[in-house]
């Protein structure tokens, strides 16, 4: 229609058109990542060393796992602020099964002392089943907290922001209380294996890609995925259309917490400690990654592939800032600005999309 | 000699290259009421938006009092004395009436930038008196009924000293009494010499209120002239561009005796009282009632959206111990709700997503719950075709961009895809233009002919007598009477509905 009106587009028009195509592309954030990587390479070639790439990847995997869960929650127009706290509590609980030793001076006052933690190690420290049980317990922590969040949101109808803010406080406090602010150190080497890098390969990578692929299939191919978008778009219409809205909401929060617990396994393995503050700094990064990817805070819109791009972007940004030796307080400022920019970009893209109708 | 207050000269408008108005020429005499009619998408609202400064015209010009008038924004239109009472009211519901009046120009304490509340309320009271609304100006707008809000809008227009007042579908959310009150007010405004542009789908109202009538179709002015030259039939045939012989299709099949849905002694405190009804295969049972008669509430209870205290609902002869939409849909029930925006549609999702949301379980594999997209896509295409939903790409375009009639067809289509055996429809033609109305009636007839039992709830008595096999009349949560098709009599039905008020 417009092409007929302008038979010979000038170079300027073509450049504008290309710019618009790039701006509207689903892969925009990926393009920005590539641009950032190339730009960074010109300033600081260290970025492309195998060692740094390994580092980048191993930072990416756990963040991806946890962000996938958050993506689901954002699609139904919810939010899960308790993911960080789940990471912390799951870390402590897992370690309390398999730590190879525990210092009585440090843990004497812990409620776990002589219950799960003993001087010669945690309750299952020499059992073959130790690590599997620890992992299951960590995931169970996630499932339980997620179930609580989901029920409170779906059945008690408390706004998700309140529910998950409160669980976040409770759970974070519980994690600290259990170990009296101390880290449970001396986890078995087999557990730490999960966080180890073998070249570019790692077990964390398998977990993360597995979670992301399953989540992608659920969102794009399953009835559950359709229901999520429906609920995010208009929950009342979803109820009327026979969508089991309450069950779906509970399942979504359970999945979000489950992802947090799964990420906790990776983070815990990497630091080789049960750390009660492990998840504390994560929340901003999680939400930033998902939103930068393009998933809408207002619900009804989001994709796993977008979240993958968002995670790459955020990890690369963090890497860039540390390679450039930017001081800590500037890092927060830069990250904040980037999130603001992402929000602005989203608004601009929506407006352009409307014009294209 | 004529005194023209407003002239449209060759007004055209295109959105993204699509023409919406094609050279409209229309003269409006001072002090007259002009009825503007046309199907949805005919361009009425766009024309009024140009006058109100909401959008600029692509070509043509407007003369106001003989001078060229080019409002750049709604404020300039306000200043020129043009007030636009929108379809969706533009009031701040959290603020008081008085605050709404003066939102753009608060009276202050001299030069001190603080509100002069006494002055504010005093002046507000004057304007409220003009529209005969006797409530405190302090009252928050959210506590007013829709009809009262409409009056507040008009009072606000008066406070801005408007000389041309545009009403865009002002009666859609009003009760009969509120509508009467609004018409009285419009009559008074008319006597005071205001020029009124009145847009409505309710042609009877247009005939009653207007001095002159203008009909738009596909962006063209197809007929205009004094009211005396028009009949409702002529308006309709100009609007749709052909004669509609009948407003309602001939019913193509007769109802059967097979009982599909039975309600026994259904009661809910304050809502429903001892309701009994029987709905048969292939039957269209009308439910008529005035506002507050409990007709929509009954449907919500049957569909499982609201609970009830006593009684039984039998679906296919089986008493349901617990009703929920999910179970009911599995049992073959479908429900076209009264509010398509709030309850019927996901406005920002595509037509296809909206069509499929209820029928999804039928297109899903057993164990991994994978949606069979190819089967679904075929079904979507069929539904769009059968219902003639006007959309470029059902898989890409959002429902938001469709006209009211097409949106309603999407809601109907969503339920047709579940192949229901019981269909409840609540006000299916509200806010839908004449042409689309007829199509919706045809769809209802075909559904019934296929053997679906239809419960047709409406506040428009004519469409019920036109379409139903029986009509049940409700009032204050009770069944007041039932009429068979042979005994349909508009007056008798209305009298039954009003029983409580007459006695």
For the stretch A281-306, pLDDT in tens is 899 899 999 988 989 888 888 999 99
Contact status of B300 with chain A (Cβ, < 8 Å) = no
CB contact under 8 A, A223 and B401: no
Closest partner residue to A243 (CB to CB) among B328, B357, B373 is B357
Q: Are residues B320 and B444 located together in one domain of the fold?
A: yes
Q: Are residues B162 and B282 located together in one domain of the fold?
A: no
- Give domain status of residue B253, yes or no: no
Q: What is the pLDDT of residue B500?
A: 47
Contacts of B364 in chain A (CB under 8 A): 222-223
CB contact under 8 A, B360 and A300: no
Q: What is the pLDDT of residue B475?
A: 83
Q: Are residues B177 and B301 located together in one domain of the fold?
A: no
Q: Which residue range forms the structural domain that includes residue B469?
A: 259-502
Query: Residues of chain A with pLDDT > 70: what percent?
Result: 96
Poorest-confidence range of A146-160, A297-311, B82-96, B135-149? B82-96
- Give domain status of residue B333, yes or no: yes
Closest partner residue to A229 (CB to CB) among B335, B337, B349 is B349
Closest CA to A263 of A63, A56, A59, A54: A63
Contact status of A296 with chain B (Cβ, < 8 Å) = no
Per-residue HEC secondary structure of B92-124 comes to CCCCEHHHHHCCCCCCEECCEEEECHHHHHHHH
Task: Report CA dihedral (A327, A331, A337, A340) to the nearest 10 degrees.
Answer: -170
In 3-state terms, chain B is what percent helix, strand and coil (to 5)?
35, 30, 35
| Each residue's pLDDT tens digit, A165-220 | 999 999 999 999 999 899 998 899 999 999 898 888 999 999 999 999 999 999 99
Q: Does domain A26-346 have CATH number 1.20.1280?
A: no
Q: Are residues B99 and B163 located together in one domain of the fold?
A: yes
CA A341 from centre of chain = 20
Q: What is the mean pLDDT of residues B37-48?
A: 81
The average confidence (pLDDT) of chain A is 90
Work out the number of other CB atoms within 10 angstroms of the CB of residue B320: 17
The average confidence (pLDDT) of chain B is 86
Q: Are residues B212 and B279 located together in one domain of the fold?
A: no
Between residues A252 and B77, the one the model is more confident about: A252
Q: How far is A250 from chain B (nearest CA, A)?
A: 17
Which of B206, B240, B274 is the last residue before a domain boundary?
B240
CB contact under 8 A, A237 and B369: no
| Each residue's pLDDT tens digit, A225-240 | 999 999 999 999 999 9
**Tokens (6 digits) for B105:** 């120009």
Confidence of residue B87 (pLDDT cuts 50, 70, 90): low
Contact status of B358 with chain A (Cβ, < 8 Å) = yes
What does DSSP assign to residue B342?
I
- Give domain status of residue B416, yes or no: yes
Q: Are residues B350 and B299 located together in one domain of the fold?
A: yes
When divided into structural domains, chain B yields a total of 2
Q: How far is A215 from chain B (nearest CA, A)?
A: 13
| Each residue's pLDDT tens digit, B336-393 | 998 888 899 999 899 999 999 999 998 988 888 888 888 899 999 999 999 989 888 8
Q: The CATH number of the domain where B160 resides is what?
A: 3.40.50.300
Interatomic CA distance for residues B331 and B313, integer angstroms? 13
Q: Is the pLDDT of residue B175 over 80?
A: no
Q: What is the ipTM of this complex?
A: 0.82
Confidence of residue A6 (pLDDT cuts 50, 70, 90): very low
| Each residue's pLDDT tens digit, A101-133 | 888 888 888 999 888 898 888 888 888 899 999
Query: Residues of chain A with pLDDT > 90: what percent?
Result: 61
Which of B190, B209, B240 is the last residue before a domain boundary?
B240
Closest partner residue to B357 (CB to CB) among A230, A244, A300 is A230
Q: How far is A222 from chain B (nearest CA, A)?
A: 4
The pTM of this model reads 0.79
Which of B193, B208, B240 is the last residue before a domain boundary?
B240
| Each residue's pLDDT tens digit, B424-470 | 999 998 877 777 888 899 999 999 999 999 999 998 888 898 999 99
Poorest-confidence range of A191-205, B79-93, B388-402, B488-502? B488-502
Q: Is the pLDDT of residue B503 over 70?
A: no
**Tokens (6 digits) for A9:** 């587009």
Contact status of B420 with chain A (Cβ, < 8 Å) = no
Q: Are residues B194 and B235 located together in one domain of the fold?
A: yes
CB-based contact B425:B456 (threshold 8 Å): yes
CB contact under 8 A, B325 and A239: yes
Residue in chain B closest to A234 (alpha carbons) equals: B346
Q: What is the pLDDT of residue B443?
A: 92
Q: Are residues B373 and B475 located together in one domain of the fold?
A: yes
- Give domain status of residue B250, yes or no: no
- Alpha-carbon torsion A217, A218, A223, A226, what sign? negative
Q: Are residues B170 and B127 located together in one domain of the fold?
A: yes
Q: What is the pLDDT of residue A272?
A: 93
Q: What is the pLDDT of residue A303?
A: 94
Q: What is the pLDDT of residue A346?
A: 77
In sequence order, the 6+-apart residues with CB closer than 8 A to the CB of B32 are B195, B196, B211, B212
- Alpha-carbon torsion A5, A7, A10, A15, what sign? positive
Confidence of residue B78 (pLDDT cuts 50, 70, 90): confident
Q: Are residues B137 and B24 located together in one domain of the fold?
A: yes
Closest partner residue to A223 (CB to CB) among B342, B344, B369 is B369
Confidence of residue B499 (pLDDT cuts 50, 70, 90): low
Confidence of residue A268 (pLDDT cuts 50, 70, 90): very high
Contact status of B353 with chain A (Cβ, < 8 Å) = yes
Q: What is the pLDDT of residue A69?
A: 97
Q: What is the mean pLDDT of residues B270-278?
A: 90
Closest CA to B82 of B44, B54, B115, B122: B54
Q: Are residues B353 and B210 located together in one domain of the fold?
A: no
Contact status of A242 with chain B (Cβ, < 8 Å) = yes
Q: What's the start-to-end Cα distance of chain B, in Å? A: 53
Interatomic CA distance for residues B474 and B462, integer angstroms? 16
């Amino acid at each position: 229609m417009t092409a007929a009106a302008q038979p010979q587009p000038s170079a300027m028009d073509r450049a504008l058109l290309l710019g618009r195509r790039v701006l509207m592309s689903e892969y925009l954030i990926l393009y920005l990542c590539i641009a950032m990587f190339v730009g960074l390479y010109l300033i600081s070639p260290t970025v492309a060393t195998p060692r740094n790439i390994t580092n980048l990847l191993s930072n990416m995997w756990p963040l991806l796992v946890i962000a996938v869960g958050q993506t689901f929650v954002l699609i139904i127009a919810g939010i899960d602020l308790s993911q960080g706290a789940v990471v912390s509590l799951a870390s402590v609980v897992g370690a309390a099964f398999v730590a190879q030793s525990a210092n009585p001076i440090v843990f004497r006052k812990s409620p776990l002392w002589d219950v799960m933690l003993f001087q010669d190690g945690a309750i299952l420290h020499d059992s073959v089943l130790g690590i599997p049980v620890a992992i299951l317990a960590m995931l169970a922590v996630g499932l339980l907290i997620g179930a609580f969040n989901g029920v409170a949101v779906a059945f008690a109808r408390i706004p998700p922001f309140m529910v998950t803010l409160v669980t976040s406080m409770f759970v974070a406090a519980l994690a600290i209380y259990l170990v009296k602010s101390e880290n449970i150190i001396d986890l078995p080497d087999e557990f730490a294996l999960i966080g180890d890098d073998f070249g570019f390969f790692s077990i964390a990578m398998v977990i993360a890609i597995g979670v992301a692929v399953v989540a992608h299939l659920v969102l794009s191919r399953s009835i559950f995925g359709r229901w999520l978008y429906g609920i995010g778009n208009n929950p009342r219409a979803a109820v009327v259309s026979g969508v089991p809205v309450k069950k779906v909401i509970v399942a979504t929060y359970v999945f979000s917490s489950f992802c947090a617990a799964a990420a906790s396994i990776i983070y815990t393995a990497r630091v080789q400690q049960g750390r009660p503050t492990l998840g504390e700094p994560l929340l901003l990064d999680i939400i930033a990654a998902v939103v930068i990817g393009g998933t809408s805070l207002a619900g009804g819109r989001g994709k796993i592939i977008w979240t993958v791009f968002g995670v790459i972007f955020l990890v690369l940004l963090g890497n860039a800032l540390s390679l450039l030796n930017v001081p800590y307080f500037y890092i927060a400022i830069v990250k904040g600005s980037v999130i603001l920019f992402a929000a602005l970009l989203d608004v601009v893209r929506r407006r352009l999309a409307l014009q294209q109708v | 000699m004529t005194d023209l207050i407003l002239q449209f000269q060759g007004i055209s408008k295109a959105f993204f290259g699509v023409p919406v108005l094609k050279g409209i020429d229309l003269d409006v005499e001072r002090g007259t009421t002009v009825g503007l009619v046309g199907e949805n998408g005919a361009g009425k609202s766009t024309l009024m938006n140009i006058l109100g400064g909401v959008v600029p015209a692509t070509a043509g010009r407007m003369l106001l009092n003989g001078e060229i008038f080019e409002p750049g924004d709604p404020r300039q239109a306000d200043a020129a004395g043009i007030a636009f009472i929108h379809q969706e009211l533009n009031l701040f519901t959290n603020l008081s009436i008085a605050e709404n009046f003066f939102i753009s120009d608060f009276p202050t304490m001299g030069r001190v930038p603080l509100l002069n509340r006494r002055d504010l309320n005093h002046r507000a009271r004057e304007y409220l008196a003009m529209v005969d609304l006797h409530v405190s100006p302090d009252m928050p707008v959210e506590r007013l009924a829709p009809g009262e809000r409409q009056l507040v809008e008009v009072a606000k227009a008066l406070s801005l000293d408007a000389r041309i007042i545009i009403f865009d579908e002002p009666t859609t959310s009003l009760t009969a009494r509120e509508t009467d009150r609004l018409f009285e007010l419009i009559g008074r405004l008319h006597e005071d010499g205001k020029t009124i542009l009145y847009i409505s789908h309710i042609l009877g109202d247009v005939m009653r209120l207007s001095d002159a009538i203008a009909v738009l179709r596909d962006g063209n002015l197809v007929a205009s002239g004094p009211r005396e030259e028009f009949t409702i039939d002529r308006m309709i045939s100009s609007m749709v561009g052909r004669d509609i012989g009948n407003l309602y299709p001939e019913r193509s099949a007769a109802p059967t005796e097979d009982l599909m849905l039975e309600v026994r002694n259904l009661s809910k405190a304050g809502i429903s009282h001892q309701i009994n009804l029987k709905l048969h295969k292939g039957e269209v049972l009308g439910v008529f009632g005035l506002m507050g008669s409990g007709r929509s509430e009954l449907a919500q209870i049957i569909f499982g959206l609201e609970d009830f205290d006593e009684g039984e609902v039998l679906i296919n002869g089986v008493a349901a111990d617990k009703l929920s939409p999910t179970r009911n849909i599995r049992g073959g029930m479908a429900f076209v709700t009264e509010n398509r925006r709030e309850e019927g549609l996901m406005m920002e999702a595509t037509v296809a997503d909206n069509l499929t949301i209820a029928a999804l379980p039928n297109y899903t594999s057993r164990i991994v719950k994978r949606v069979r997209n190819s089967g679904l896509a075929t079904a979507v295409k069929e539904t769009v075709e059968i219902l003639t939903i006007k959309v470029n790409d059902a898989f890409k375009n959002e429902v938001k961009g469709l006209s009211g009639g097409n949106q309603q067809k999407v809601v109907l289509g969503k339920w047709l895809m579940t192949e229901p055996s019981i269909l409840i429809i609540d006000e299916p033609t509200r806010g839908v233009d004449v042409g689309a109305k007829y199509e919706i009636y045809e769809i209802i007839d075909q559904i019934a002919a296929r053997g679906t039992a239809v419960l047709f709830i409406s506040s428009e008595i004519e469409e019920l007598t036109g379409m139903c096999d029986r009509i049940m009349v409700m009032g204050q949560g009770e069944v007041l009477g039932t009429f068979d098709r042979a005994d349909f009599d508009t007056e008798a039905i209305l009298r039954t509905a009003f029983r409580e008020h007459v006695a």
